[in-house]
């Protein structure tokens, strides 16, 4: 599984901004500490361009492990690794592509993963379900599902749900020459004195599902958004910020890669109060000719504030991003096909479009809210 000639390996952890920063740090540091137990050397570091790490904006941290200091130094000559052996995505909605601060366009999640490398994704979905939302592969790699959902916490708090231990166990399964399971378990035992934590690493190892992905597999449904970076000779003089007319959006700046949940709107129950439009921090709402407010999904980061401030119960419902294939705005759909839209709303959200009909179980599922930025207490607005 591993190349015996290889003298160093690079692992990246792709995570959602401040909600998973501590988790990413713990994984990267533990990779290095576990590798040191078998005589390797290594270092863990963060990517400079992601310092803002706002809300759920994708960011990266790295662990580089080498057979000796010289090889480590050689690997570190690359300030930011462009090619990695393993990418660990600690939220499965990241497979829809990542676009971060200082990056250039939405990138496929597997972009830096070398040929025959590994993409580890924490998920409760099957490998094929995750692959169905992952960009078409240009080279073969192995998709590895690490059992468990996305773990979200905050900058100064850490949710100790053993996601890091499961990821380390799964990593030991795919890179046994670099990170051994016994070293991972010994490290966790030293750090926590908790047998349950040790068992979580074993669970990650045993429960990790490997799905070889051939070139051509995946979805071509995601928007291609790449940029040519100008060289020194082709740069325009000075800083030029193209002006936008009022109401016009920057076609080159998309924020949907930050989203784990998206708001869906029941236009039938909307009372046109303007609260969502006023409070959305990213100015995502457009007013329709009838005075409704529709979400511009290209711009929405999925923070959930609109659902919190909406005074009408279940008028805006936050729904798992993996349930959607596109970023099309939906008011035209509702306008042209009222019943079809309401059926779509119910299917996606698990909430009845008719406020007189309540489906408590389905509503709970549809409102499932893993993102602490999206409605900490409730996934939908209005009084209970
Ligand atoms: S979830 Fe709502 S408030 Fe947050 S960015 Fe999207 S539309 Fe705006
Ligand atoms: S907050 Fe809710 S009721 Fe008010 S305009 Fe927005 S969607 Fe309609």
For residue 381, pLDDT over 50 is answered with no
Question: Strands (DSSP E) along 156-295, which ranges?
Answer: 209-213, 261-265, 285-287, 293-295
Going by alpha carbons, the residue nearest to atom 8 of ligand 2 is: 270
Give the distance (Å) from ligand 2 centre to CA of residue 302. 16
Structure tokens at 375: 């409605």
Winning range, highest mean pLDDT, from 2-11, 73-82, 117-126, 368-377:
117-126
Cα–Cα dist 370/206, whole Å: 25
Going by alpha carbons, the residue nearest to atom 4 of ligand 2 is: 273
Q: Quick check: helix, strand or coil at residue 174?
A: helix
Per-residue pLDDT, averaged over 366-370, amounts to: 37
What local confidence, expressed as pLDDT, does residue 152 receive? 85
Q: Give the number of C-alpha atoms closer than 13 A to the C-alpha of residue 313, restricted to the C-beta side.
A: 12
Give the distance (Å) from ligand 1 centre to CA of residue 121. 26
The per-residue pLDDT for range 255-304, each reduced to its tens digit, is 888 889 999 999 999 999 999 999 998 889 999 999 999 999 999 999 89
Give the distance (Å) from ligand 1 centre to CA of residue 189. 42
Position with higher pLDDT, 344 vs 243: 344
Could you tell me the fold of the domain covering 8-213?
A: Pyruvate-ferredoxin Oxidoreductase; domain 3 (3.40.920)
For residue 367, pLDDT over 80 is answered with no
Winning range, highest mean pLDDT, from 22-26, 63-67, 272-276, 340-344:
340-344
For residue 240, pLDDT over 80 is answered with no
Cα–Cα dist 141/119, whole Å: 7
Any ligand 2 atom below 6 A from CB of 275: yes
CA-285 nearest atom, ligand 2:
6
Of the listed ranges 247-256, 293-302, 346-355, 367-376, the least confidently predicted one is 367-376
Going by alpha carbons, the residue nearest to atom 7 of ligand 2 is: 270
Going by alpha carbons, the residue nearest to atom 6 of ligand 1 is: 300
Cα–Cα dist 194/12, whole Å: 27
What local confidence, expressed as pLDDT, does residue 183 receive? 97
The per-residue pLDDT for range 153-174, each reduced to its tens digit, is 876 678 889 999 999 999 999 9
Mutate to test the pocket of ligand 2, among 265, 266, 267, 273 (most ligand atoms within 8 A of CB): 273
For residue 81, pLDDT over 90 is answered with no
Give the distance (Å) from ligand 1 centre to CA of residue 304. 5
Q: Which residues fall within 8 angstroms of residue 235, CB to CB, at 6 or more apart?
A: none
Going by alpha carbons, the residue nearest to atom 2 of ligand 2 is: 310
Q: Which ligand has the minimum distance to the alpha carbon of residue 371?
A: 1
Mutate to test the pocket of ligand 2, among 290, 295, 310 (most ligand atoms within 8 A of CB): 310
The radius of gyration computed from the CA coordinates of the chain, to the nearest angstrom, equals 22
What local confidence, expressed as pLDDT, does residue 243 receive? 72
**Domain assignments of the chain as residue spans, ordered by start:** 8-213, 256-366
CA-280 nearest atom, ligand 1:
3
Any ligand 2 atom below 6 A from CB of 2: no
The per-residue pLDDT for range 206-228, each reduced to its tens digit, is 999 999 999 999 999 887 766 67
Nearest to 197 by CA among 223, 173, 169, 170: 169
Residues with CB under 6 A from ligand 1: 263, 280, 282, 284, 295, 300-306
Of the listed ranges 30-39, 241-250, 366-375, the least confidently predicted one is 366-375
What local confidence, expressed as pLDDT, does residue 357 receive? 76
Could you tell me the fold of the domain covering 256-366?
A: Alpha-Beta Plaits (3.30.70)
8 A C-beta contact, residue 131 and residue 217:
yes
Q: Buried b vs exposed e over 44-72: b needs ≥16 C-beta within 10 Å?
A: bbbbeebeebbbbbbbbbbbbbbbeeebb
CA-266 nearest atom, ligand 2:
7
Give the distance (Å) from ligand 2 centre to CA of residue 312. 7
For residue 176, pLDDT over 50 is answered with yes
CA-295 nearest atom, ligand 1:
7
Q: Which ligand has the minimum distance to the alpha carbon of residue 271?
A: 2
Give the distance (Å) from ligand 2 centre to CA of residue 304. 13
Q: Which residues fall within 8 angstroms of residue 112, CB to CB, at 6 or more apart?
A: 12, 81, 82, 83, 84, 87
């Amino acid at each position: 599984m591993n190349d015996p000639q290889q003298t160093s390996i690079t692992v990246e952890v792709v995570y959602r901004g401040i909600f998973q920063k501590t988790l990413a740090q713990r994984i990267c540091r533990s990779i290095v500490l576990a590798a040191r137990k078998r005589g390797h050397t290594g270092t863990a570091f963060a990517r400079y361009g992601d310092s803002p790490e706002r809300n759920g904006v994708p960011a990266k941290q790295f662990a580089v492990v080498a057979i000796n200091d010289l090889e480590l130094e050689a690997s570190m000559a690359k300030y930011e690794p462009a090619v990695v052996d393993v990418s660990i995505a600690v939220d499965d909605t990241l497979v829809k592509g990542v676009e971060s601060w200082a990056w250039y366009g939405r990138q496929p999640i597997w972009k830096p993963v070398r040929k025959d490398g590994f993409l580890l994704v924490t998920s409760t979905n099957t490998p094929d379900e995750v692959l169905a939302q992952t960009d078409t592969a240009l080279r073969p790699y192995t998709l590895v599902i690490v059992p468990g959902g996305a773990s979200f916490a905050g900058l100064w708090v850490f949710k100790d749900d053993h996601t890091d231990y499961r990821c380390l166990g799964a990593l030991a399964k795919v890179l046994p020459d670099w990170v051994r399971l016994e070293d991972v378990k010994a490290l966790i035992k030293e750090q926590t004195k908790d047998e349950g934590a040790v068992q979580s690493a074993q669970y990650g190892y045993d429960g990790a599902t490997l799905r070889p992905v051939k070139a051509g597999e995946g979805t071509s449904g995601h928007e291609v958004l790449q940029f040519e970076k100008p060289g020194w000779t082709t740069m325009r003089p000075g800083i030029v910020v193209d002006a936008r007319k009022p109401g016009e959006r920057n076609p080159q700046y998309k924020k949907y890669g930050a989203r784990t949940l998206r708001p869906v709107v029941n236009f039938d129950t909307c009372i046109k109060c303007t609260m969502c439009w006023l409070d959305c921090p990213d100015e995502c709402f457009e007013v329709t000719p009838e005075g409704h407010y529709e979400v511009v999904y290209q711009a929405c980061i999925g923070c959930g504030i609109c659902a919190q401030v909406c005074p009408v119960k279940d008028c805006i419902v936050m729904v798992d991003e993996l349930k959607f294939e596109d970023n099309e705005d939906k008011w035209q759909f509702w306008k042209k096909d009222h019943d079809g839209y309401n059926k779509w709303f119910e299917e996606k959200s698990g909430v009845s479009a008719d406020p007189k009909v309540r489906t408590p179980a389905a509503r709970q599922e549809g409102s499932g809210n893993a993102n602490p930025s999206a409605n900490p207490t409730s996934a939908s607005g209005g009084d209970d």
